[in-house]
A and B are shown apart, each in its own frame.
Chain A
Amino acid sequence: MIWIALRMLTGDRQKFYGLVFGVAFSTLLITQQLTIFANLLERGASGVYNVPDADVWVMDPATRTIEVAYPLPSTALDRVRSVPGILWAVPHLRATASVRTGAGNLEAVAIVGVDDSTLVGLPPRVAPGKVAALTSPGSVIIDDVGAGRMFGVGNPVIGQRFELNDQRAVIRGVTDSFPNFTNQVTLYTRYSEALSYVPGTRNRLTFILVKGDGAMTDQELAHRIAKISGLRARSSEQFADDAIEYILENTGIPMNFGITVGLGFIIGVAIVGLTFSLFIRDSIKQFGALKAMGVSNKAIRRMVTAQASMIGLIGYSLGLVGTALFVWGFSNSATFKGFYIPWQVPLISFSAVALILAATSRIALNRLMTTEPAAVFR
């Protein structure tokens, strides 16, 4: 009977396409919005992901995220270095400054000061340009998204000069890194150089990056550093989670995306529910005849389930392919750089689609179950 059910479904092309479209559109909306949401959240932790060498981030106890940091006294570095179990600890500066471009435009940029001797704190991939060039005075490396934003996509960047807080800076390289949450231009320079770019305050060291000797887990090391130094220490993983939590708690993003995902669900229920109800209503005479002939309610339930499953699988697959095409299509855009579909997102949208179809099938089935076989003679 499954074969008959599927033929009944596909025979009415208009309704079949309407149902598939409804599920596909819902899946697309839910999957695409959740994908953007998840990737945006991850961008909140991009500063952590861009420094894979660091096992632990040490900061002032008041600091919550990489973007909202309270400076430490320079003596904090020695305190941290004295903690047993540390292979190395280097200073890391994060601040904002204003840049005047060659065209005379003013742009707010993030300044990242990396360790002078080891250059720890720099994203691992730099191209074009050379990391070594950073040792020259007045040298900076710019992030690729920021470069496109400041100088235009495709324009030459290496060798470009600009004014950074009244000081000259020359771009010596471009990183291939995770863009930050606000898509702000990020300039990487040596720590000592960064101090001269950032307006002077008594304390300017924002983070200490630590590598453990491998004798304990990162969390254990962070716990030990915090205990001994009195500073806040978080493993990279914890600190990335902190950044994501900060966005969730302090911005309207979850609510906005939640509303869109909710709308996707409601649209799915509306389109699929209405079309499926229409399909069942139009087929009720045929189902009634089948019931009269001796097709059991159990078989009818299986038929409707098969129909819903077919609509769900095709619609869901199309919606997922649509999202993949969206991500792929915009992969070259700076706004969507590095976007991917986290494995949890298809599962969530699959559950949503299953829920939509279960609800609409249930309503349709109620109607069929209460249809008396004798109705075919009336």
Chain B
Amino acid sequence: MTPVTRQSAAISARGVTRAFRSGSQVVDVLHGVDLDIRAGELTYLIGESGSGKTTLVSILCGILWPTAGDVRVFGTDIYTLSDRELTDFRLRNIGFIFQQYNLLSSIDAASNAAVPLIAQGMRVVEARDQALAMLEKLNIADQAEKLPSQLSGGQQQRVAIARALVHAPKLIVCDEPTAALDATSGRRVMNLLREVAIQRDRACIIVTHDNRVFDLADRIVELEDGRIIDQGRQLSETD
């Protein structure tokens, strides 16, 4: 596999630092992180609790401002955008799969999967049609009319995946997708993600500490105390 460069990287972070204020103390969670993630790969972000992986992924997907540093997502330096532009950038370019799925409890599976399209201004009927097609792809179209509470955990996760993919985003961010699953189900989910989420022009970052599925990653980035200790691959000199 060829080394990843900043130019060829889908996601590129340089000198990313993040500090949080805790009472009178300032705690540095990330210390000048440099990271490049290639499109078409499944990248795992791993590390112990408190290593800074959630903070890093939040910064990479544009929902948490870094104290210092820059992040480029498919060429856009996202933290030079205004708040409104960044919100719109997320809406159009990033798909989220949350650990708790965070499906809207009072709308059915199809409508849940259609949320990013509806938020982009698409009519509900059209958005639901597209969402249904995505649910079909994930073999869960028969549950489209059910509320999240009527679905099993696995089915809810598929709906969450459908929601993350329905608007064809450039970056998929997935938080601990196998945390509550047994080994077999965990591998099934990861394989499913590989199957539906990985595309040549799309990056996919998965935050996990589930070593049972590490073998399914294309690249594993390991964090410790706010620093990357293993990028999984060397950066080229052209960086």
A interface, CB within 8 angstroms of B = 1, 3-4, 7-12, 285-286, 288-297, 299, 372-374, 376-378
Q: List chain A residues, Cβ under 8 A from B100.
A: 285
Smallest CB separation, A5 vs chain B (Å): 10
State in angstroms the CA–CA spacing of A340 and B84 once bound together.
51
Q: Are B63 and A292 within 8 A (Cβ)?
A: yes
Which single member of B96, B105, B111 contacts A286 (CB below 8 Å)? Answer: B105
Which residues of chain B from 102 to 142 have any CB-CB distance to chain A below 8 Å in the complex? 102, 104-107, 111, 115-116, 118-119, 124
A-B pairs, top 4 by smallest CB distance, nearest first, are A11-B106, A294-B91, A289-B102, A294-B90
Query: Is B218 in contact with chain A by the CB < 8 A criterion?
Result: no
Within 8 Å CB of A373, what residues of B?
A: 63-64
A296 engages B98 (CB within 8 Å):
no
**B46 vs chain A, min Cβ distance (A):** 15
Residues of B that sit less than 8 Å from A by CB: 54, 57-58, 61, 63-64, 84, 87-92, 94, 96, 98-100, 102, 104-107, 111, 115-116, 118-119, 124, 147, 175, 207
Contacts A289-B98, A299-B119 known; A294 to B106 CB distance under 8 Å? no
**Residues of B contacting A295 in the complex (Cβ-Cβ under 8 angstroms):** 87, 91, 119
Known A292-B90, A294-B119, A377-B99; further 18 A-B contacts with Cβ < 8 A: A4-B107, A7-B106, A7-B107, A10-B106, A11-B105, A11-B106, A12-B105, A286-B102, A286-B105, A288-B102, A293-B94, A294-B87, A294-B88, A294-B89, A294-B94, A294-B116, A295-B91, A376-B102
Residue among A7, A10, A289, A378 making CB contact with B96, cutoff 8 Å: A289
Q: How far, in angstroms, from A7 to B110 measured CA to CA in the complex?
A: 13
What's the least CB distance linking A307 to chain B, in Å? 12
Contact of A293 (CB < 8 Å), options: B84, B91, B105: B91
Q: Closest Cβ of chain B: how far from A227's Cβ, in Å? A: 70
Residue of A nearest to B98 (CB): A376
Distance between Cα atoms of A1 and B111 in the complex (Å):
11
Q: Distance in Å from the Cβ of A9 to the closest Cβ of chain B? A: 8
- Specify which of B88, B104, B115, B124 lies most central, judged by the most chain A CB atoms within 10 Å of its CB: B104
Question: A296–B106 contact, CB under 8 A?
Answer: no
14 contacts between A and B (CB under 8 A): A1-B119, A3-B124, A7-B104, A7-B106, A11-B106, A11-B147, A285-B100, A286-B105, A292-B63, A293-B94, A294-B94, A295-B119, A374-B64, A376-B102
**A4/B115 in contact, CB under 8 A:** yes
State in angstroms the CA–CA spacing of A238 and B90 once bound together.
67
Residues of chain B lying within 8 A (CB to CB) of residue A299: 119
CB-CB under 8 A from A294, the residues of chain B are 87-92, 94, 116, 119
How long is the Cα–Cα vector from A12 to B105 in the complex, in angstroms? Answer: 9
Q: Measured between C-beta atoms, what is the minimum distance from A17 to chain B in Å?
A: 14
Interface centre among A288, A297, A372, A376 (most CB of B within 10 A): A376
Min distance, Cβ B120 to any Cβ of chain A, angstroms = 8
| Complex partner residue of A1 from B63, B98, B99, B118, CB under 8 angstroms | B118
Q: Which residue of B lies closest to A3 (CB)?
A: B124
Q: How far is the CB of A4 from chain B (nearest CB, A)?
A: 6
Nearest A residue to B114 by beta-carbon distance? A4
Chain B contacts for A286, CB-based, 8 A:
102, 104-105
CB pair B58 A374 closer than 8 Å: yes
Min CB gap A298→B, angstroms = 8
Contact B111 A374 (CB under 8 A): no
Which one, A4, A292, A374, contacts B104 given CB within 8 A?
A: A4
A377 with B175: CB separation less than 8 A: yes
Query: Are A377 and B102 in contact (CB-based, < 8 A)?
Result: no
Smallest CB-CB separation from A282: which chain B residue?
A: B105
A369 to chain B, nearest CB (A): 12
Q: Are A378 and B54 in contact (CB under 8 A)?
A: yes
By the criterion CB–CB under 8 Å, are B107 and A292 in contact? no
Nearest neighbor of B92 in chain A, beta-carbon distance:
A294
- Quick one: given A3-B118, A294-B90, A296-B87, are A8 and B64 in contact (CB under 8 Å)? no
Residues of A within 8 Å of B106, CB to CB, are 7-12
Which residues of the other chain, A, contact B87 by a CB distance below 8 angstroms? 291, 294-297
Query: CA separation between A11 and B149, bound complex, in Å?
Result: 12
